[in-house]
């Protein structure tokens, strides 16, 4: 849903529907006032990473204004759709006093200019900032009144959105990255069908987890992103210590099921590299990321698998074949992602919808990755089988996503019957999405 | 043209939107009442857009009351057209009219 244009008819219908719900809530909750939060989003793209970050920060700010000033919030209604993120708060207290506090927030908060906080008093009157001595909103880019610039379409959507992204990136950097990580994991698990893997249709070749286990796991991991980004001293040992704590939180949330162990490993290195590049003021490009991760994971295979006796699937496969699985990919700076799956995904995205492009990228990863989770379940034969089958599916021509899905459902049934699951490919698929969202954004600016 | 006009409305009072109300009136013709946050500069342009929409529908004997919150032209058109459809009790849009 992220970064997709919303048709005008849906935007307009959604506004009417919101107005209807506002009225309904006011009638149903006599004496209460209503807060209607939405985000300023020039252009038809209403749901973007930047707008979601602003939305989350606005929600937190409104919550703290409510609690700190003794307002009682009776109910909230939230909606995240193609038409944007929005929330309605039904509250008790002095609506006018609350409006003044939100006007101050809109003026003072670095991202306040991008928040639209409408307040309706109990009689349904929309309170206006000018009634309280606040001046009309200024344009994001120049000193004119916002209304005038918007009506004249004085600035291009590209310029406006670039400046919004820059603001959010600057003032809410960690939040932005953490949200991108969360959405990357969500996007991966929700992609359906995924052969042998947990998706919204089934649990694949897993009897101990389902999509909700993944959702719980994602929520447990999210708070650790800022720790990875702040790792000090920034080296592999520090990242691993945080990673182990993160893993514990994951296992607690999933009642002992390993949903994202490999993913946490990838995220730790990814965030570590981001921290390093940002400190140096260097651009977040695929090339730079690859170099930084290479440095962070230097000698990892030797340290982990040769000098120490590990008992993971990766270690067993290394003893058997000499390929060190995910550690080797990390040591190469995730070249397979930054110089492989990311360009592949970006190219596919030019021709296909995001979900279609992601499914092809998943097949690309399954075909190219030495996935030790497959080896763990079925030895060399399993690994080769999945690689070959993915290669075959990738060379087929599909008229549309539906045809591709039909093949993927067959492959899914096949892998479930064989009890095989390409967990490594799933992790790197999430990493691919994350890299193409975060890094692409940077290069565009 | 004899038309049965149902009092109707479309849109909202949010910024960058507009709230359009249509009421039947006994005298013929179309009257437009406008209140806008960008009135000083755009009143004439907005009235013109609204009138063009009404004429395209062959509207007669109605007041169109517009509260504009800085909407762009295509939003104004969409909202007025929707209000007109509702006023005429039409569900389907006759694209040739527009």
Domain boundaries, chain B: 8-90
Which run of H or E residues covers position A336? helix A335-336
> Which residue from A389, A368, A392, A371 is spatially nearest to A380, judged by alpha carbons?
A371
Count of positions (residues) in chain B: 98
Using a CB–CB cutoff of 8 Å, tell me whether A150 touches chain B.
yes
Quote the minimal CA–CA distance from B6 to chain A in Å.
19
What residues contact A395, with CB distance under 8 A and at least 6 apart? Answer: none
CA-to-CA distance for A209 and A98, rounded, in angstroms?
45
Q: In the CATH scheme, what is the code of domain B8-90?
A: 3.30.230.10
Chain B residue at shortest CA distance from A148: B38
What residues contact A158, with CB distance under 8 A and at least 6 apart? Answer: none
End-to-end CA distance of chain A: 22
Ordered per-residue pLDDT tens for chain A, 445 residues? 888 899 999 999 999 999 999 999 999 999 999 999 999 998 899 999 999 999 999 999 999 999 999 999 999 999 999 999 999 999 999 999 999 999 999 999 999 999 999 999 999 999 998 889 888 888 889 888 888 888 888 999 999 999 999 999 999 999 999 999 999 999 999 999 999 999 999 999 999 999 999 999 999 999 999 999 999 999 999 999 999 999 999 999 999 999 999 999 999 999 999 999 999 999 999 999 999 999 999 999 988 887 776 677 677 788 888 888 899 999 999 999 999 999 999 999 999 999 999 999 999 999 999 998 899 889 999 999 999 999 999 999 999 999 999 999 999 999 999 999 999 999 999 999 999 999 854 444 3
pTM to 2 decimals? Answer: 0.88
Which residues in chain B touch residue A151, judged by CB atoms under 8 angstroms apart? 38, 41-42, 70-72
CB within 8 Å: B70 and A16? no
Phi, psi of A282 (to 5 degrees): -95, 155
Chain A residue at shortest CA distance from B20: A16
CB within 8 Å: A151 and B12? no
Interface test with B, best of A151, A152, A153, A154 (most B CBs within 10 A): A151
Residue B94's region, left for phi above 0, alpha for psi from -120 to 50, else beta, is beta
CA-to-CA distance for A83 and A18, rounded, in angstroms?
11
CA A59 to chain centre: 18
Say what the pLDDT of residue B95 is. Answer: 67
CB within 8 Å: A8 and B75? yes
CA A60 to chain centre: 19
pLDDT of A364-387, one tens digit each? 999 999 998 899 889 999 999 999
Using a CB–CB cutoff of 8 Å, tell me whether A148 touches chain B.
yes
CB atoms within 10 A of CB B44: 10
Quote the minimal CA–CA distance from B73 to chain A in Å.
8
Out of A15, A148, A151, closest to residue B12 by CB = A15
Chain A residue at shortest CA distance from B9: A16
Which run of H or E residues covers position B22? strand B18-24
Interface test with B, best of A6, A16, A119 (most B CBs within 10 A): A16
Q: Would you say residue B92 has pLDDT above 50?
A: yes
Residue B6's region, left for phi above 0, alpha for psi from -120 to 50, else beta, is beta
pLDDT of B29-85, one tens digit each? 999 999 987 777 889 999 999 999 999 989 999 999 999 999 999 999 999 999 999
Say whether A286 sits in a helix, a strand or coil. Answer: helix
ipTM summary value: 0.87
8-state DSSP, A341: I
Out of A12, A150, A151, closest to residue B78 by CB = A12
Q: In the CATH scheme, what is the code of domain A8-164?
A: 3.30.70.260
CA-to-CA distance for A230 and B5, rounded, in angstroms?
65
Out of A16, A147, A153, closest to residue B11 by CB = A16
Residue A235 CB-half CA count within 13 A: 5
Size of interface A-B (CB pairs under 8 A): 43
CB A413 within 8 A of CB A195: no
Order of strands across the sheet that contains A115-120 = A72-81, A84-92, A33-39, A115-120
pLDDT of A294-339, one tens digit each? 999 999 998 888 777 667 767 778 888 888 889 999 999 999 999 9
> Which residue from A298, A221, A295, A294 is spatially nearest to A254, judged by alpha carbons?
A221
Q: In the CATH scheme, what is the code of domain A172-438?
A: 1.10.4200.10
CB B14 within 8 A of CB A118: yes
Phi, psi of A109 (to 5 degrees): -70, 140
Q: Can you give the C-alpha Rg of chain B in angstroms?
A: 12
Which run of H or E residues covers position B10? strand B8-11
> Which residue from A179, A4, A176, A171 is spatially nearest to A83, judged by alpha carbons?
A4
What are the residue ranges spanned by the domains of chain A? 8-164, 172-438
């Amino acid at each position: 849903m992220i970064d997709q244009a919303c048709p005008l008819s849906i935007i307009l219908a959604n506004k009417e529907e919101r107005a209807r719900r506002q009225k309904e809530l006011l009638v149903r909750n006599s004496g209460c006032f209503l807060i209607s939060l939405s985000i300023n989003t020039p252009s038809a793209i209403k749901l973007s990473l930047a707008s979601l970050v602003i939305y989350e920060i606005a929600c937190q700010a409104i919550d703290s204004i409510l609690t700190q000033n003794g307002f009682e919030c009776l109910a909230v209604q939230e909606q995240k759709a193609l038409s944007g993120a929005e929330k309605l708060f039904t509250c008790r207290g002095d609506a006018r006093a609350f409006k003044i506090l939100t006007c101050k927030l809109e003026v003072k908060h670095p991202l306040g200019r991008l928040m639209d906080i409408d307040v309706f008093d109990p009689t349904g009157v929309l309170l206006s900032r000018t009634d309280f001595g606040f001046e009309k909103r200024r344009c994001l880019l120049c000193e004119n009144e916002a209304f005038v610039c918007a009506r004249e379409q004085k600035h291009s959507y590209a310029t406006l959105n670039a400046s919004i992204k820059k603001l959010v990136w600057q003032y809410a950097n960690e939040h932005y990255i953490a949200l991108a990580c969360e959405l990357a994991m969500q996007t991966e698990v929700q992609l359906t069908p995924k052969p042998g893997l947990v998706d919204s249709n089934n649990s694949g070749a897993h009897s101990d987890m389902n999509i909700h286990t993944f959702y719980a796991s994602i929520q447990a991991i999210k708070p650790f992103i800022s720790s990875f980004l702040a790792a000090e001293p920034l080296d592999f040992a520090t990242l691993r210590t945080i990673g182990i704590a993160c893993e514990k939180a994951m296992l607690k949330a999933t009642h002992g099921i390993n949903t994202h162990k490999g993913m946490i490993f990838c995220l730790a290195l990814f965030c570590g590299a981001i921290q390093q590049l940002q400190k140096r003021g260097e651009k977040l490009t695929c090339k730079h990321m690859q170099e930084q991760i290479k440095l962070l994971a230097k000698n990892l295979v030797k340290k982990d698998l040769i000098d120490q006796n590990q008992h993971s699937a990766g270690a067993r496969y290394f003893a058997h074949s000499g390929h060190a699985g995910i550690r080797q990919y990390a040591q190469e700076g995730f070249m397979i992602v930054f110089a492989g799956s990311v360009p592949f995904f970006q190219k596919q995205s030019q021709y296909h919808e995001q979900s279609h492009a992601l499914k092809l990228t998943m097949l690309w990863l399954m075909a190219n990755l030495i996935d030790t989770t497959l080896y763990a379940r079925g030895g060399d034969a399993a690994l080769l089988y999945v690689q070959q089958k993915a290669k075959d599916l990738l060379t087929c021509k599909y008229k549309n996503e539906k045809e591709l899905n039909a093949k993927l459902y067959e492959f899914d049934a096949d892998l479930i019957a064989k009890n095989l699951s390409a967990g490594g490919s799933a992790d790197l698929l999430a990493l691919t999405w994350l890299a193409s969202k975060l890094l692409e954004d940077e290069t565009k600016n | 043209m004899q038309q049965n006009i149902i009092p109707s409305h479309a849109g909202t009072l949010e910024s960058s939107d507009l709230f359009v109300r249509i009421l039947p009136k006994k005298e013929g013709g179309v009257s437009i009442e406008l209140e806008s946050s960008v009135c000083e500069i755009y009143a004439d342009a907005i009235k013109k857009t609204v009138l063009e929409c009404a004429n395209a529908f062959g509207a007669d004997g109605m007041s169109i009351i517009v509260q504009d919150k800085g909407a762009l032209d295509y939003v104004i058109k969409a909202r007025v057209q929707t209000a007109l459809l509702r006023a005429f009790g039409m569900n389907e849009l006759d694209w040739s009219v527009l």
